[in-house]
Chain A
Amino acid sequence: MFRRQFLCGMAALLLVAVFAAAQTTSHNTQSSVNTKQRKSRESENYPATLVQQGAALFRQDCSFCHGRDAAGGESGPDLTRSKLVAADVNGNKIAPVIRNGRPDNKMPAFDRTDQQIASLVAFIHTQQKAAQAQGGRRGNGGRKGVDPEDLRTGNAEAGKKYFHGAGGCAACHSPTGDLAGIASRFKGLELEEQMLYPRHAKSKVVVTLASGQEISGTLAYLDEFVIGLTNSEGVYQSWRIRDVRYKLDAPAEAHVDLFSKYTDDDVHNLMAYLQTLK
C-alpha cells in the first residue's frame, strides 16, 4: 500500500512537472497574453466531445459531492466559484487534486487516465465559464452559490458592539491589528466561513519530554497515541503520547464555544461589521 502511495505520489509529481513544462512553453510563445485571457480562450476551444466525455465521468465520480453542474453537491464545494479552478491552466492545478485527493477534506484520490482527466478539466472549465456568463444563475437541480450581497443583511454597529462585548472577539482579535483589511482578503461566504471557524488556523504546542526538556513548534499531527510538531526549522518530530506531556495553544477552538451562543442575528451583524474592515 505504501509503495502504491509512493508511486501515485511520484506519478503526480511527474504530472505536475509535465504541466509546468507545458505552461512554460505556452508562456514563451504567448508572453504578451495574460493568463486570464489565455485561459478563457482555451476553455472556449475545448472540443465538444471532450466536454461531453468529461460531463459523463463527472456525473459518475464527482457529482455527488460537487453537483452534476459542478456548482456544489452534498458536501463538496462549488467548483464554478473555486479559486483553484480559476487559477488552473489546462489541468495544472486540477489534475493533482483528482489524482491525489484531498485527505484533509475527505476527498478520495481517483486513478484515472490522462485523457479522462483532460476531459474532466474541460468540463469543469466549461461549467465555470457558463456560470460566469450567467452571472451566477444556475440550471435546475444543483446546489446554488452564495453571493456576497446575500450576506449584507446585518447591522454593522450591532456587530461592532457584539465584537467588543458579548462575543468576546476582542479578547483575541483587533480590527486595527490582525483583522485590519480582512474584508479585502476574504469576501462573502469565504469571509463568513473564516469568521465562524478558521479551519486552517495553526495551533502551537509545547512538548515536555521525560527528561524535562521542552520542545515547541507548530502542531503537525495529533491522535490518541502520537503527537507530532514542526519546529522553527521546519523539521517534523513526533512522540508517543504516553511518553510525554504536552500543552496545546489552539486559539481557534474559542470559535467552537461561540456556536451554541450565537443567534442568527449575531452572525449577520458580526459579518456586516467585518465587511467594513477593508
Chain B
Amino acid sequence: MDFLKKTFLTLCCVFVFSLWTLAQGADEQTLLHPPPDSWPGYHGDYSGKRHSALTQIAPGNVKNLSLAWAFQTNQTSLIKSSPLLVDGILYFTVPENIWAVDARSGHQIWHYVHPRSSGEHIGHRGVAMYKGYLYFLSPDAHLISLNAKDGSVRWNVQVADVTKGYWTSMAPLVVGRHVLVGVSGDFDNLTGYIRSIDPETGATQWQWNSTPPAGTPNQTTGGMTWMTGTYDPELNLVYWGTGNPTPVLNGTTRPGDNLYTCSIVALNPDTGKLAWAFQVSPHDTHDWDAVETPVLVDGDFHGEPKKMLMQSSRNGYFFVLDRTNGTSLLTAPYGPVNWTLGIDKEGRPIPNPAKEPAPDGRLIAPDEGGMTNYRSPSFDPKNGLFIVDAHPSWSIYFAKPADGVYGWAGADYGVWGKGIIEAIDYQTGKIRWSHEVGPGGSGAGVLTTDSGLTFTGDASGNFLALDSSDGKTLWHAGSGASIVSSPTSYELDGRQYVLMSSGGVLFAWALPE
C-alpha cells in the first residue's frame, strides 16, 4: 500500500512537473535541475560535466545503437553547436542560422536566417534560452532575442563593435535574470569582456573587462571570452575562461603576467564583481586561450571533500582548483609540453622566455590549436575520470621586429599532431587509459553516461562509443564528414537518444524500438 501510494505521488509530481515545464520553457528551475527530457543550456546543466544520468543505452546493448533520424542543414558550415532541448524541441545553429527541430522525429519546425552580416563566420556554438525566448549572437556581435515558438525577433542589441574587430560565436549563459555573453577578437588589440544583459529588455546590467583599455602603456589587451562559462548556484559564482593576450605572439609591449588573460575567473553574476582569478598561462605568447570548459565537480580530493573546478587547458596542462577560492589542488601536463621552466608554488606554469616566438623559429609543444580546444571534455563521477579529446602536437613559432606589435604580430605553423581520447585520474593527473583517434586529431567533444559509456568521435569522422572504464570501442558509425561538436543526450517517451553532428548533419541515435 505504502509503495503504491508513494508511486502514485511520484507519478503525480512528475505529471505536474512536466506540465509546469511545458508551460514555462527554460525557467530557472529547469536550468538549475534539468529534467532527463531536456538539455536547456550549452553544457546541459550548469556544472559543465557533460555527464548524462541516463542508463538505457549501456555497454551491454550499445552495439545495437541505430539511427533514429538525421537532420540535414544543407549548408557547408560545420555544426559546432550543442543543441538545446526544451519541451521536446531542439534549437541549434550555424553562423547566421537557427533551427527548431522536433526531437522525436527530426523534422523542422522553423528556420531563422539572420541577414548576412560582417564579422567572422568561423563557427557558432548555439543559443541560450530563458522561459519562452532564445538568445542568439550574430557574427557582427549583436545579441538577438527570438520567440521560441516561431523564431520571430523580439529585440536586437549590439554587444560589441564589429568595425573594431570584435565578433561573436558563443552560446550565451543564462543565470537567474542575466544573459551572460562573451566576445571574440584576436586580430586587433582589443579589450575582452563579459557582459550581463537583461533577458526581457536587452539592457546591459554590468560588464566585466578582462584587460585594461587599448593603449594603456605597458598593459596587455585581449582576454576574449568566447566560450560559455559554468555556474555554482550555492556559491553564486560564475566561472569563465579568458583568452590569450594581444599582440598575440609578441609579448614585448605587455611585460608581466598580463592579467586577466589566459585565466579562469570567478564572478558574482548579480554584480559582475571578481571573486578570484587563476591564471593558467602567465604572459602567454602562443595563443593558448584558457576558455576550455571550467568543469565543476564536488567530490573527494586526497580524502577530503572539495568543491573543485577542473580544466584541461589549451596550453597542455590539466588543472584542479578549489573553486571556493581559486587555490590550486593539482597541475599536471596531459601530453607533451616544452614551454615551461616548471610550476610555481601557486600551481601556475612558469613560461620559459627561451620558448617565446623568435625570428628563426622555436619548436613548441603543443601547437597553436593546443592540447585541446573548444570541444567539451566530460567528467565521469563513477570512474573518477576527466575524459578529454587531447591533441599532442608540435609546431614552430616565429616573431620578428618587422612583424610589429598589433594583432597577430608573428607567425606559427603546425608541424604534426594526432588525436587521443585521454581519461585523466583527477586526483593524480595520471592518464588511466587512452584511445588513439587518428592523425591530425579529432574535433569531437566527449559525453559520458551513468551506464559507463563515453561518446565521442575520431579524426576520420567515425562516431564512437567507448567503455568508460577502459576506453575500448563498443560501437561506431562512419559519419562521412568531420566531427567538430560535442555529443548530448536526452530521454523522450522513455527512449534515450544520443545526439551527435558531423559536417552539416545532426544525427540522433537510439536503441531499436
Contact = CB atoms under 8 A, between A and B. Distances in A.
A141 B408 contact: yes
A222 to B, nearest CB: 8
Interface in A47-64: 56, 59-61, 63-64
A4 B188 CA distance: 38
B411 A141 contact: no
Nearest to A8: B76
Given A106-B440, A141-B188, A150 B369 contact: no
A216 B75 CA distance: 40
A140 B406 contact: yes
Contact of B78 (A108, A197, A255, A268): A108
B368 A223 contact: no
A78 B358 CA distance: 18
B416 interface: yes
Contacts of B252: none
Interface stretch (B24-32, B118-126, B141-149): B118-126
A101 B481 CA distance: 12
B406 A145 contact: no
B187 A197 contact: no
B404 A140 contact: yes
B400 interface: yes
Contact of B408 (A2, A67, A111, A267): A67
For the complex, would chain A's binding face be called helix, strand, loop or mixed by DSSP majority? loop
B360 A151 contact: yes
Contacts of B358: 264
B480 A63 contact: no
A144 B408 contact: yes
Interface in A110-160: 110-111, 137, 140-146, 150-151, 153-154
B287 interface: yes
Contacts of A140: 404, 406-407
Interface string B410-427: 111111100000000000
A250 to B, nearest CB: 10
B362 A108 contact: no
Interface string B446-485: 0000000000001110101000000001001000111000
A146 B398 contact: yes
A60 B139 contact: yes
A225 B480 CA distance: 14
B407 A192 contact: no
Given A73-B187, A196-B396, A196-B415, A224 B120 contact: no
Given A74-B186, A267-B363, A142 B402 contact: no
A150 B476 contact: no
A193 B118 contact: no
B381 interface: no
B406 to A, nearest CB: 4
Contacts of A4: 74
B361 interface: yes
B353 to A, nearest CB: 13
Contact of A150 (B139, B187, B359): B359
Contacts of A225: 462, 476
Interface string B200-218: 0000000000000000000
Contact of B403 (A68, A144, A192): A144
Interface residues of B, number: 64
A142 B413 contact: no
Contacts of A103: 482
B398 A150 contact: yes
B408 A60 contact: no
B112 to A, nearest CB: 18
B360 A153 contact: yes
A142 B458 contact: no
A189 interface: yes
Given A143-B411, A193-B413, A259-B363, A61 B480 contact: no
Contacts of B365: 259-260
A223 B416 contact: no
Nearest to A252: B416
A140 B409 CA distance: 8
A163 to B, nearest CB: 17
A256 interface: yes
Contacts of B464: 224
Contacts of A153: 359-360
B394 interface: yes
A78 B403 CA distance: 14
Contacts of B412: 143
A241 to B, nearest CB: 11
Contact of B120 (A2, A63, A137): A63
A75 interface: yes
Nearest to B461: A223
A87 interface: no
A2 B396 contact: no
B384 interface: no
B328 interface: no
Given A146-B411, A225-B462, A259-B336, A264 B362 contact: yes
A109 B76 contact: yes
Contact of B480 (A1, A72, A154, A264): A1
Q: Determine which residue in A64, A101, A141, A193 has the highest number of CB atoms from chain B within 10 A of its CB, and name it.
A: A141
A59 B118 contact: yes
A259 B78 contact: no
Interface string A159-190: 00000000000000000000000000000010
A150 B368 contact: no
B408 A199 contact: no
Nearest to A111: B76
A239 interface: no
A246 interface: no
Nearest to B188: A141
A188 to B, nearest CB: 11
Contact of A61 (B121, B354, B403, B458): B121
Interface in A262-278: 262, 264, 267-268
A111 B75 contact: yes
Contacts of A74: 186, 287, 368
Nearest to A152: B360
B402 A264 contact: no
Contacts of A73: 187, 408
Interface in B330-363: 336, 338, 354, 358-363
B108 interface: no
A149 to B, nearest CB: 10
23 contacts: A4-B74, A59-B119, A65-B122, A73-B187, A74-B287, A78-B411, A103-B482, A108-B78, A141-B406, A142-B187, A142-B407, A143-B411, A146-B413, A193-B396, A193-B413, A196-B415, A197-B416, A223-B438, A224-B458, A259-B363, A259-B394, A264-B362, A267-B363
Given A59-B120, A74-B368, A141-B406, 4 more contacts: A1-B72, A103-B482, A144-B404, A268-B360
Interface of B: 72, 74-78, 116-122, 139, 165, 186-188, 287, 336, 338, 354, 358-363, 365, 368-369, 394, 396, 398, 400, 402-404, 406-416, 436, 438, 440, 458-460, 462, 464, 473, 476, 480-482, 503, 505
Question: Which are the 4 A-B pairs with shortest beta-carbon distances?
Answer: A141-B407, A64-B122, A223-B460, A140-B406
